Structure formats: C-alpha cells, structure tokens
Amino acid sequence: MKITSVLEDQSIEKRIAITPDVAKKYISLGFELSLQENYGVHLGISDDIFEDIGAKIFKDEKKLIENCDLIIQLGLLSPEKLSLLKENQTVVGVLDPFKNKDKIESLAKKKVNLFSLELLPRITRAQSMDILSSQANLAGYKAVIESFAKFEKAIPMMMTAAGTIPAAKVLVVGAGVAGLQAIATAKRMGAIVFATDVRMASKEQVESLGGKFLTVEGAENLETKGGYAKEASDDFKKKQEELLHETLKKIDIVICTALIPGKKAPIIIKDEMIKNMQTGSVIYDLAAIQGGNTAFTEVDKLVDKSGVKIMGETNILNKLPISASNLYAKNVFNFVTNLFDKEKNEININLEDEIIEKTLIK
C-alpha cells in the first residue's frame, strides 16, 4: 500500500499531516511512504529526516498523487490536484463536506473513497482520532495568548506599594474543548474567568477549572446526542442577550468559541453590547471563519469598534503549526490503523464499524 501527503496551500495552511514520528509508524505498519520535496522544511523538518526514516522524496507532485493508494491531507486538495484522483484511491482529511459539496459529489462519482475526520462520532473508541478536540484545544489556548497580547493592562492582580492592579476579567462564550482550554489558560495566567454555554453539562466542567458559569434563567439543555451545541430557541436567545448585556459591562476580554457544525456561527455579541463594554477591551472570535460570534468580526483584521478591539483569524493554528501538526498526524494515524487491514494489505471499508460509516462521504 502506497501512502502520501502533499503540501497544502502555504498561504492558508502551515500544518502537515505526516510528521517524522508518525512516518515511522506508517512504515512499520507496512506502508510505502512517499512525500513531496520540501514537505516539512517550513517547520524545520528537512527531507533528510524523512529519508533516514525510510520515506521516499519526490519532486513530481502529479506522480505522487497518481501513484498512491492513500492520501493524507489537512483540507481538500485544489481542483487541479483533485482532477488527478482515480477510482479506489482513498483520501483522508478535514474535507468540509458542507462547504465543498459539489467537489465531493464529483469525486464520489469517480468512486474515490473520501473520509472526512470532522464527522467522527463522539464515542470512546474514536477519542484518539478526534482531530476537532486536539486542534480546538490548541486554538483555545492560543486565542487567550493572542487576546492578552492586545490587552494593554496586566492580567493577574498585582499588589504594590503604589497601589493594587485588579485582575482582568475574562468571559468565554462557548465551553466546548476550545472554550475549556481558554478558561484553563486564562485562569493559570491570573484572570477572573466567567463562561457561558447552551449546554448545561458544561457547568460542572467550567467550575472544575475555576470559572464561574453564567446560567440563563430557566435554561434548557441545548445539546445534541453527539455532544455538540444545537440552535437555541428565540426565548433562550433573548434571555442570554439580557445576561450578556449586563455581564459585558464589567468584562475586559471575551473569547468567542460558539459554533454549530455546518452552519453560520450565531451572532451572540450584539452591537449594543459592544458599545457598553469598557474602552480597551478585547474580543477574540474563534468563530470568525464561520461568520463570527460578534456583529463586527472580520477575518484576519483587527476591528476597533467603540474602543473595543475585535479580532479573528482564518487559521489560528498557523501560529502553532508544529504542535498542531504533531497532534493531527497522530489522530490521523490512529484513524488509518482502524481503516487498514494489515493481513490483506488493503483499506477495509467496513460499514459495520461506526467510525468508518460516519466519516465515509457517500
């Protein structure tokens, strides 16, 4: 079985899908690994490192794609590269089937096997493959670091002979994986942390990290069977707005993480709320790429609205590409191990396996 990975568009994606440690594991499993020239150079990983492990390095990207059985990527390949794919080849990555519907349907007609890892079921057996959790964990951490860098005051409380500097107050909107890591990071750095989420199950997790959970009166539990947040009712949204309106008056930094899979991000921080925030406050919007949780979020721009700085990026993980690549590569290897029949030396698409059935795009 021949496996490969080619470079992503470096302007939007600096992560790689196969790291040296994971390359060793693929080769040990029996795969013949080939990589594109300069595959990891931008991360300080020379071609020699991969070759010493046993990988083959090729200049011709076209031949790499045409001659492999399994392609491991971050996102969907470009249209030019997709045109090279043929029947029975397998592609594994974060393919975003909601956004790339037409391209994926075209590939399915060519009988290319497509596995999109953001569709993994939230079951115990899939935890080691959960790319959403591993990457969101890093994103939550980095969002706090980036917002603190833009906040022009000290974060922890400091008592000096000249007076006391109060601790910064942080609000985390959405207490999923990214939100929980944001809470933990902000707390470690000395901030007073508040959090809100539509899923009542988050309350205990937030409080275990030292955060204060803000509860909407008469709140319903808006959680899907898969553990994701679902759309809130109009009544809930109104009550949440009232709670946030008052809370934001005393908040210095907001980390927004609220997302609904496959849909535009909900607008949670409204115009009037921002106007009532303190001048110099910062909002980091991790939902920017899906429209944002604020009324003014612009991707890759720092927006100043009424003295409040609002920021969000296309891909915050480009600022942690080595750590993010290491985790992503391990997640994908665990997925491929489950997909690969070592005895028959072939990809085994066993639709009775929930992990395979849920991630296969039909």
Active-site residue set = 122, 127, 130, 133, 228
The span from the CA of 54 to the CA of 18, in Å, is 13
**Distance from the first to the final alpha carbon of the chain:** 23
| Identity at 173, one-letter amino acid code | V
Backbone φ and ψ for 164, nearest 5 degrees, come out as -105, 135
Strand-pairing partners, residue 34, are 4, 56
Sign of CA dihedral 331, 334, 338, 340: positive
Note whether 265 and 181 are within 8 A (CB): no
The span from the CA of 161 to the CA of 5, in Å, is 58
| Identity at 87, one-letter amino acid code | E
One-character DSSP codes across 204-258: HHHHHTTPEEP--TT----B-TTS-B-PPPHHHHHHHHHHHHHHGGG-SEEEE--
The span from the CA of 310 to the CA of 302, in Å, is 6
43: burial class by Cβ within 10 Å (0-12, 13-18, 19+)?
middle
H or E element in which residue 131 lies: helix 131-150
According to DSSP, the β-strands at 346-347 and 169-173 are: unpaired
The span from the CA of 181 to the CA of 213, in Å, is 15
The residues, any chain, with a CB within 8 Å of residue 122's CB and separated by 6 or more, are 130, 226, 227, 228
